[in-house]
Amino acid sequence: MNQRHDHFPEGADFNASLRNRYRVATIWQTIFLSALLIAIIALTALLYNVVDGAFGFIAYEYKDDPAEFTSTPVNELTKDELLVILKENLSSGAYNKLENEQPMQERSQADLLTLFLERLVRIDTKGTWSMTDSLLRGDEIRVEVAEKYPDAILEFRSWLTPQFLTTPMSSKAEFAGVRTAILGSLWMVGLAILFALPIGTGAAIYLQEYAPKGWLTSIIQTNINNLAGVPSIVYGMLGLAVFVRTLEAFTSGSMFGVTDSNGRTVLSAGLTMGILVLPLIIINAQEAIKAVPDSLRQAAYGVGATRWQTIWHHVLPNALPGILTGSILAISRALGETAPLIVVGASTFISIDPDGPFSKFTALPIQIYQWTTRAQSEFHAIAASAIIVLLILLLTLNATAILLRNRYQRKY
């Protein structure tokens, strides 16, 4: 009996060693938890950084004094006054061009004011500050600006405005918007899903319901899993070689009589993105189909259904919420992808809305990339605003996916 206990600590010794072990355990637990805290801090910092950039002081001067055009203070100009001023002071060529894009009468007061500030008085930005700086060092900034640019107007500005969503690109950050980019993103994602959802679902049905166990099936499956891990820029290169170049006649629309474009169209981008999200859709749809219980298939076969009748009437309807959830996730992936779009040639400056699959296009992430890499800080401010727009879009999509999943979770 005693011998058995000889080499083990007993009583107080044991308690002391146990306490020590617990202490070590607590330390490690804290370390494990802190990894997650770092993740939370990183996420917070990222979101803070974006919001911080989208609001803040801007100091600007007018190249031409507004008083030269009107006696009314800029903030109080009415739509009618603006119309008159623009008509009188813009060259007739420039005015007609604007009129052609959208009749001046139909434009809002805010739009006209933008034109006034952009074309006539011509704002010249001297500096911008982040939200934190603006709030904490407001007085310092005021002094600094007054010293350096005595004529400058300093105001707190939200770069993210309703107008930011509805105005097209502009070479001046103050007047730029993401309308063209949002429309381009929507066209691109729409085409991608139109292509990838039916094919992806079809592939998943084939693999789950038809494919015999064998080398071909296992090659297809392995291949799909691998495609999901191929860097997105490689898909861009594939799109460049296949859609932009080889199939140019199709993607530029020249075989349909469209003459004014090359292969760098929203169709090429959509197809490229469709191929990119295809594995994602297949894998998700496979999971959804797998979750449909076999008893349901047997019940259908038991009353003399063919394979397709069973799939169409029972398997697909029950797998549909899962398939849709997967597609929404694929959509949000496609919305955020940037690299393939750069490669297939998204236009970096374009102010005409895409109006069909053969249009040139830009996309939200492309604009974010462009603006982030500009040196002037006002472009960083609109990059931040565009990021907020993109993140809200993605958040909405993902929330929809989660709701869909919870709403239709079936108990068999």
Partner 1 sequence: MQNTRTYAIESNDLSIHYGTFTAVRGVNLKIERQKITAIIGPSGCGKSTLLRSFNRMNDFVPGCYATGELLLQGQNLYSKDIDPVEVRRKIGMVFQKPNPFPKSIYENIAWGARINGFKGKMDDLVEQSLRSAALWEEVKDKLQESAYALSGGQQQRLCIARTIAIQPEIILMDEPASALDPISTLRIEELMQELKKNYTILIVTHNMQQAARASDYTAMMMIDDQRAGGVIEFDETKSIFTRPKDKRTEDYVTGRFG
Partner 2 sequence: MKEEVLNIKATETQSFRQFDLKKKTRIGESVIQALLFFAGILSVLTTVAIVYELGKEAMLFFGNPDVTFAKFFGETKWQPGIGQYGIWALVSATLTTSAIAISISLPLGLAAAIYLSEYASPKARGILKPVLEILAGIPTVVYGYFALLFVTPILQNIFGDNIQVYNMLSAGLVMGIMILPLISSMSEDALSAVPRSLREAAYAMGATKLESSLQVVLPAALSGIGAALILGISRAVGETMIVAVASGAGPNFSFNPLEAAETMTGHIARISGGDLSYNSIDYTSLFAIALMLFLVTLVLNLISQYIVNRFRERYE
Q: Tell which positions 284-303 bind partner 2, by CB under 8 A.
A: none
Q: Give the one residue of 115, 131, 278, 382 binding partner 2; rule: CB under 8 A.
A: 278
Find the binding residues for partner 1 in span 24-63 (CB under 8 A): none
Pattern 94-133, partner 2, x by CB under 8 A: ----------------------------------------
Cβ closest to partner 2, residue 72 vs residue 372: 372
CA distance linking residue 101 with residue 103, whole number of Å:
7
Tokens standing for residue 263: 């292969």
List, in sequence order, every residue forming a beta bridge with 155; answer none if it has no partner.
58
Closest alpha carbon to 266 in 394, 353, 379:
353
Count residues binding partner 1 (CB under 8 A).
21
Cβ closest to partner 1, residue 172 vs residue 314: 314
Q: Give the one residue of 98, 242, 305, 320 binding partner 2; rule: CB under 8 A.
A: 242
Pattern 306-345, partner 1, x by CB under 8 A: x--x---xx---x---------------------------
Closest alpha carbon to 200 in 331, 310, 327, 309:
327
Do residues 54 and 384 touch, judged by C-beta distance below 8 A?
yes
CA distance linking residue 387 with residue 382, whole number of Å:
8
**Does residue number 376 form part of the binding site for partner 2 (CB under 8 A)?**
no
Cβ closest to partner 1, residue 102 vs residue 306: 306
Whole-number minimum distance, CB 293 to partner 1, in Å?
8
Find the binding residues for partner 1 in span 340-399 (CB under 8 A): none
CA distance linking residue 378 with residue 157, whole number of Å:
11
Tokens standing for residue 234: 């490689």
Residue 410, helix vs strand vs coil: coil
- Single-letter amino acid code for the residue at 199: I
First to last CA, the chain: 57
- What are the residue ranges of helices labelled H in 206-306? 215-227, 232-239, 248-251, 266-290, 294-302
Cβ closest to partner 2, residue 103 vs residue 212: 212
Local structure of residue 254 (DSSP, 8 states): G
Whole-number minimum distance, CB 109 to partner 2, in Å?
33
Q: Please, how many CA atoms are within 13 Å of residue 89, restricted to the half-sphere of its CB?
A: 19
Closest alpha carbon to 122 in 171, 161, 53:
171
Cβ closest to partner 2, residue 153 vs residue 199: 199
**Does residue number 1 form part of the binding site for partner 2 (CB under 8 A)?**
no
How many helices and strands in the chain, by DSSP H and E?
Answer: 19, 3
**Does residue number 271 form part of the binding site for partner 2 (CB under 8 A)?**
no
Whole-number minimum distance, CB 383 to partner 2, in Å?
6
Find the binding residues for partner 1 in span 250-309 (CB under 8 A): 293, 295-306, 309
Pattern 198-237, partner 1, x by CB under 8 A: --------------xx------------------------
Give the one entry of partner 2, partner 1, none that residue 255 binds, where binding means its C-beta sits below a cut-off of 5 to 8 angstroms depending on kind: none
Binding site for partner 1 (CB under 8 A): 212-213, 293, 295-306, 309, 313-314, 318, 410, 412
